[in-house]
Amino acid sequence: MIERADFLARFGGVFEHSPFIAERALDAGTVAEPMTAAGVHAALTEVFRKASADEQMGVLRAHPDLAGKLAIAGELTEDSRKEQAGAGLDRLSAEEHARFTALNSAYTQKFGFPFIIAVKGLTKDDILAAFETRIDNSAQEEFETAKTQVERIALLRLTALLPGD
């Protein structure tokens, strides 16, 4: 079995800035060898789903705005930077950046957490379309949608770290 410190170093950031998820999964004994992306994802997702609503909200709030201040300042996590760059969010025109900024502000004000979407395979236009649709969701619908997206992001990150099943 992988050493605790190694596991936490490797997987503690899979759920953005929320190492408690990896800690609890390891402590629960739900992480089994051989580790695969699907297996570790199942263990981490189980912890995320069992976390309190406040803890889940904390995970959502740990995510950066898309094309936001942290991206401009170069302060994203390496995973977030690569994910946003892959969707072209690091190459927005001034007009596109202004649109993302306005949507980020309106969305965060309405829901209390940043807009979260698994950007892999999406274009900036896909992301803007989802943004504009989801901002009309109810608070509960968007909380559930954002949690689903966080789980998808975690799976994509794990797939980059581990073999599949």
- Residues with a catalytic annotation lie at 63
Under 8 Å between Cβ of 15 and 59: yes
Give the residue from 134, 158, 160, 161 showing the smallest Cα distance to 38. Answer: 158
Please answer whether residues 14 and 8 qualify as being in contact, where contact means their C-beta atoms are separated by less than 8 angstroms. Answer: no
Q: Both tokens of residue 82? A: 């690569």
Q: DSSP letter for 121, please.
A: T
Q: How far is CA 20 from CA 32, 42, 63, 71, 131, in A?
A: 18, 15, 15, 25, 29
Q: Which two tokens stand for residue 24?
A: 């609890």
Lookup: tokens for 18: 């929320």
